[in-house]
C-alpha cells in the first residue's frame, strides 16, 4: 500500500513522513514571529513621530511589560488545543477551561486600566511618579486590557488550524494583520489625530483581534465551525488517553503557566547581574540589549518547533519521533550557524553598526555577544521538540521544573561571577550575561530530555513493540 493510500485510509497516519512535509508545515509558522517583530518595530516608529515621543515610548514599554507579564500564559492556550483536543467534546471542555482562565487575566488587567489600583501599582510597584506618565499609562492600559480576549480567540482557532496541518491559514492571517496595522499606523502618523501611546495600544490589541478573526474565518471556511473542525481531527484509537476534565486541564496548564512566568524572569536576572559590573554597566546593558534583539530575530522561528512534535508525534511512534526531532535539530543548527557566521564575518559588525545604529565600540563588543548566544537556538530547538512530546503525554510538570532549573542556573552563574570572580565580569559583562543565558537554556534542554527519557515510552512503528528511549541526540539512533 502506498503512502498516499495509507493516508486516505487513516488520516492520522504519517507513513512516509519526510523533511519536505515537515518544512511545508513549519515554514508558515516560522514567518509569523518575523511579521510580529515588524509590527512592533513599526509601532515604536509611529509613536516616535507623534507628540510626546519620549514619554510615550517609555510608558508604552512599561505597559507592554506589565501586560505581557499578566497575560503570558495565554500563549499556551494553543498548545492545550493541539495536545488535548481530538473531538468535539474535548474541544468544548478545553474551550470552556481556556475562556475561564482568560477571564481571570482580563479582570486583572481591567482593574489596572479602569480603577485606582492601576495608579497605585504604577506609583508604588513600577515607580512612576510623573502624573503625566501615569495618565498616559492609563490611556494604554484601558485598551491593552482586552488583549487576553483577542489572544484567546486567536490561539484557540490557531490550535485547530495547526492540528489540521493548515498552517498557511495562520501565516496568511498574520500577514493581513501586518497590512492593516501598517495602514492604520501610517494614517495615524500622517493625520496626527491621536496620542502616540493610544496609536500603539490600538495597533497592538486591534492587530491581534484582526488576526484572530481572520483565523476564525479560515476555520469556518474550511470546516464550517470550530466544533466541526475539532470533530474532523485525525483519530488515534491506539493511543490510550484519560478523559479530560477541568482538574485534568488545570494540572496540565499550571506548569505551563509557571514556565511562561519563569521565562519572563530570566532576562531581568541577567540584566541585574550586568548592572552590577564594575566597568561601565550602562554600556554593557546597551551591548547586551542590542545583541539580544538581533539574536531573537534570528532565533524567533525556533520557538514554534514544539508544534512539529505536538502534531506529528501524537502516537508516540519512534520512527516519527526520530524524523521530527532531527528536523528540529537541523532548524536550530541553522540558526546557530547564522549567528556564528555573523561573528566570524564582518556582517555581524555591519548589522550592529549600520542597521541597529550603535557606536563602533558597542558593535565590536556586541559581535562577541552574538558568539556567546550562538548555541542558544540549537538548545532551544531540541528543547521545543521534547516539549511537544511531553505535552502530548500530559507530562507538563517536567516542563515547569526544567524552566525553574534554567532560571536557577542563570542566577547561580551570575551570582558566583559577580561575588567571587568579579575580574571575569570586568572583562566583558555583556558576554558573561549572554553565556549565562545560554548555559541556562542548555540546562533546561537536558533536564527536559531526561524527563522525556524517564516518563515516555515510544513504540517501534514496524514491530509495534515498546523500545528503549535512549537515543543519541545527533545521530537519532
Residues 224, 75 share a domain: yes
Residue 109 CA to residue 103 CA, distance in Å, equals 10
pLDDT over 70 (residue 8): no
Handedness of CA 75, 452, 22, 1 (dihedral sign): negative
The three grid cell numbers given for residue 102, joined into one nine-digit string = 482568560
In a domain, 285, yes or no: yes
pLDDT in tens, 420-443: 676 666 678 888 889 999 999 999
Residues 195, 293 share a domain: no
Of 202, 235, 268, the one marking the end of a domain is 235
Most confident of 28-32, 253-257, 330-334, 417-421: 330-334
The total number of residues written for the chain in this structure = 477
Residues 356, 280 share a domain: yes
Residues 99, 143 share a domain: yes
pLDDT in tens, 278-319: 777 878 888 888 888 888 889 989 999 999 998 998 776 778
Residues 227, 309 share a domain: no
Indicate the average pLDDT of the chain: 85
In a domain, 290, yes or no: yes
14: pLDDT confidence band, cut at 50, 70 and 90? very low
Block residue for cell numbers 484567546: 152
Block residue for cell numbers 487513516: 10
In a domain, 136, yes or no: yes
Of 203, 235, 267, the one marking the end of a domain is 235
Residues 261, 228 share a domain: no
| pLDDT confidence of residue 72 | 84
Residue 135 CA to residue 121 CA, distance in Å, equals 13
In a domain, 120, yes or no: yes
Residue 281 CA to residue 191 CA, distance in Å, equals 41
In a domain, 1, yes or no: no
Instruction: Give the residue numbers spanning the domain of 462.
Output: 257-477
Residue 446 CA to residue 439 CA, distance in Å, equals 11
Residue 369 CA to residue 314 CA, distance in Å, equals 38
The three grid cell numbers given for residue 449, joined into one nine-digit string = 530530555
Residue 64 CA to residue 462 CA, distance in Å, equals 50
Residue 376 CA to residue 369 CA, distance in Å, equals 12
1-to-8, 237, 238, 398 alpha-carbon distances in Å: 11, 21, 20, 39
Most confident of 13-17, 85-89, 140-144: 140-144
Of 186, 202, 235, the one marking the end of a domain is 235
354: pLDDT confidence band, cut at 50, 70 and 90? confident
| pLDDT confidence of residue 334 | 96
Residues 358, 455 share a domain: yes
In a domain, 14, yes or no: no
Residues 222, 264 share a domain: no
Give the three-class secondary structure for 11.
Answer: coil
DSSP 393-454: TT-THHHHHHHHHHHHHHHHHHHHHHHH-HHHHHH-HHHHHHHHHHHHHHHHHHHHHHHHHH
Phi, psi of 238 (to 5 degrees): -75, -15
In a domain, 11, yes or no: no
The three grid cell numbers given for residue 420, joined into one nine-digit string = 567571587
Span between the terminal Cα atoms of the chain, in Å: 27
Q: What is the pTM of this model?
A: 0.83
pLDDT over 90 (residue 127): no
Q: Across residues 386-395, what is the average pLDDT?
A: 89
Domain count, the chain: 2
Residues 284, 184 share a domain: no
Residue 15 CA to residue 270 CA, distance in Å, equals 45
Residues 266, 406 share a domain: yes
CB 152 within 8 A of CB 211: no
Residue 96 CA to residue 319 CA, distance in Å, equals 35
60-to-127, 290, 298, 459 alpha-carbon distances in Å: 15, 19, 25, 50
Residues 467, 332 share a domain: yes
Q: Which of 400, 388, 104, 93 is nearest to 249 (CA)?
A: 93
Q: Residue ranges of the alpha helices (H) in 224-245?
A: 226-231
DSSP 242-295: PPP-HHHHHHHHHHHHHHHHHHHHHHHHHHHHHHT-SS-HHHHHHHHHHHHHHH
Phi, psi of 227 (to 5 degrees): -60, -45
Q: Given its phi and psi angles, is residue 239 left (phi above 0), alpha (psi -120 to 50 degrees) or beta?
A: beta
Q: Given its phi and psi angles, is residue 128 left (phi above 0), alpha (psi -120 to 50 degrees) or beta?
A: beta
Contacts (Cβ under 8 Å, ≥6 apart) of 377: 298, 299, 302, 332, 333, 335, 336, 339
In a domain, 317, yes or no: yes
Residues 261, 224 share a domain: no
**Which strand (E) or helix (H) includes residue 32?**
helix 19-47
Amino acid at each position: 500500500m502506498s503512502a498516499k493510500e495509507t493516508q486516505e485510509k487513516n488520516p492520522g497516519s504519517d507513513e512516509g513522513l519526510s523533511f519536505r512535509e515537515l518544512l511545508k508545515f513549519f515554514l508558515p509558522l516560522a514567518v509569523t514571529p518575523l511579521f510580529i517583530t515588524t509590527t512592533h518595530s513599526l509601532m515604536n516608529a509611529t509613536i516616535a513621530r507623534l507628540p510626546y515621543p519620549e514619554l510615550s515610548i517609555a510608558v508604552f514599554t512599561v505597559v507592554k511589560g506589565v501586560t505581557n507579564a499578566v497575560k503570558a500564559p495565554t500563549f499556551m492556550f494553543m498548545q492545550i488545543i493541539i495536545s488535548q483536543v481530538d473531538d468535539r467534546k474535548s474541544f468544548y471542555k478545553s474551550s470552556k477551561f481556556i475562556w475561564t482562565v482568560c477571564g481571570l487575566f482580563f479582570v486583572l488587567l481591567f482593574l489596572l486600566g479602569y480603577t485606582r489600583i492601576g495608579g497605585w501599582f504604577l506609583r508604588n510597584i513600577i515607580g512612576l511618579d510623573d502624573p503625566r506618565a501615569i495618565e498616559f499609562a492609563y490611556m494604554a492600559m484601558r485598551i491593552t486590557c482586552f488583549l487576553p480576549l483577542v489572544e484567546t480567540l486567536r490561539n484557540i482557532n490557531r490550535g485547530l488550524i495547526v492540528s489540521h496541518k493548515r498552517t498557511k491559514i495562520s501565516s496568511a492571517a498574520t500577514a493581513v494583520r501586518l497590512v492593516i496595522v501598517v495602514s492604520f499606523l501610517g494614517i495615524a502618523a500622517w493625520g496626527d489625530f491621536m496620542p502616540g501611546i493610544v496609536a500603539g495600544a490600538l495597533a497592538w490589541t486591534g492587530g491581534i483581534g484582526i488576526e484572530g478573526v481572520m483565523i476564525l474565518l479560515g476555520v469556518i471556511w474550511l470546516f464550517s465551525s470550530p466544533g466541526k473542525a475539532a470533530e474532523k481531527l485525525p483519530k488515534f484509537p491506539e493511543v490510550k488517553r484519560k478523559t479530560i476534565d477541568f482538574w485534568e486541564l488545570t494540572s496540565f496548564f499550571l506548569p505551563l503557566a509557571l514556565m511562561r512566568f519563569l521565562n519572563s524572569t530570566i532576562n531581568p536576572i541577567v540584566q541585574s547581574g550586568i548592572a552590577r559590573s564594575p566597568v561601565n554597566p550602562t554600556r554593557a546593558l546597551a551591548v547586551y540589549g542590542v545583541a539580544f534583539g538581533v539574536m531573537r530575530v534570528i532565533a524567533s522561528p525556533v520557538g514554534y518547533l514544539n508544534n512539529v512534535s505536538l502534531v506529528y508525534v501524537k502516537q508516540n511512534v519512534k520512527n516519527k519521533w526520530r524524523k521530527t526531532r532531527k528536523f528540529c535539530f537541523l532548524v536550530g543548527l541553522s540558526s546557530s550557524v547564522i549567528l556564528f557566521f555573523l561573528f566570524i564575518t564582518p556582517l555581524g559588525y555591519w548589522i550592529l553598526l549600520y542597521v541597529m545604529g550603535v557606536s563602533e565600540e558597542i558593535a565590536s563588543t556586541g559581535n562577541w555577544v552574538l558568539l556567546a548566544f550562538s548555541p542558544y537556538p540549537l538548545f532551544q530547538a531540541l528543547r521545543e521538540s521534547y516539549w511537544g512530546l511531553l505535552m502530548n503525554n500530559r507530562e507538563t510538570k517536567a516542563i515547569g521544573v526544567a524552566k525553574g532549573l534554567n532560571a536557577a542556573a542563570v542566577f547561580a552563574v551570575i551570582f558566583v561571577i559577580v561575588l567571587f570572580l568579579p575580574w571575569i565580569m570586568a572583562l566583558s559583562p555583556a558576554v558573561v550575561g549572554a553565556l549565562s543565558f545560554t548555559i541556562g537554556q542548555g540546562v533546561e534542554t537536558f533536564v527536559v530530555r531526561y524527563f522525556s527519557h524517564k516518563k515516555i515510552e515510544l513504540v517501534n512503528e514496524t514491530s509495534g513493540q515498546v523500545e528503549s528511549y535512549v537515543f543519541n541526540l545527533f545521530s537519532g539512533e
